[in-house]
Amino acid sequence: MTQDILSEGGNKICSIILDQIEEGPRDFFLYAEVDDGVIAPSMVQIYVDHIFWTLPPWEIGKVLQRMWQGSDKSAKWWALTLEIHGDKFELQFNYDPAAQFDEGTDERAMAAITSKFPNLPLQVPPFDPEAQRLEMMKRLARRSASFELDSSGVTQLDADD
């Protein structure tokens, strides 16, 4: 049962990413940590001569949560990596109960990404909250999601699975 949930979740995440990221190569690397109340995905798009940090589609969070909640309690994973190359993907889970948590989630994500691609420079777009909000709204509109806005941005999101 757990294996079915994890495999189905991997397929769903790939579908979401490939449907929503329209520009550039179709190769991606996703690192995500999941725990009770925590879902922290980080994603890069893989180019020939560099990797590019990109905003993961927000729908991935729901899928990650279902995958984590559907896993056997005796073998809970706390992190996963998903590598997509065109229409193929490889999904790996970290079950290590002795993992070191001296660093924060962002630092562990950066370490996973740079160790996977040690010879490719990482390009990170400049932080622009308005551009990120507009990108999220564009992706939401593409997915026919309903949302409400307040002065700080998106406050409620509902989308079809």
From 35, 29, 36, select the one nearest 14 (Cα to Cα): 29
Section 53-76 average pLDDT:
84
What value does the CA radius of gyration of the chain take, rounded to a whole number of Å? 16
Q: What is the pLDDT of residues 131-142, one digit of tens each?
A: 767 776 776 676
Q: Indicate if 58 and 120 belong to the same structural domain.
A: yes
Q: Indicate if 50 and 116 belong to the same structural domain.
A: yes
Residue 71: give its domain's CATH number: 3.30.500
Q: Indicate if 73 and 28 belong to the same structural domain.
A: yes
Give, in order, the Cα–Cα distances in Å from 86 to each of 17, 46, 55, 138, 154: 11, 11, 19, 23, 31
Q: Please tell me the distance from the alpha carbon of residue 11 to that of residue 127, in angstroms, as a whole number.
A: 30
Q: Indicate if 113 and 146 belong to the same structural domain.
A: no
Its pTM stands at 0.74
Q: Indicate if 9 and 85 belong to the same structural domain.
A: yes
Q: Indicate if 78 and 151 belong to the same structural domain.
A: no
Q: Indicate if 13 and 66 belong to the same structural domain.
A: yes
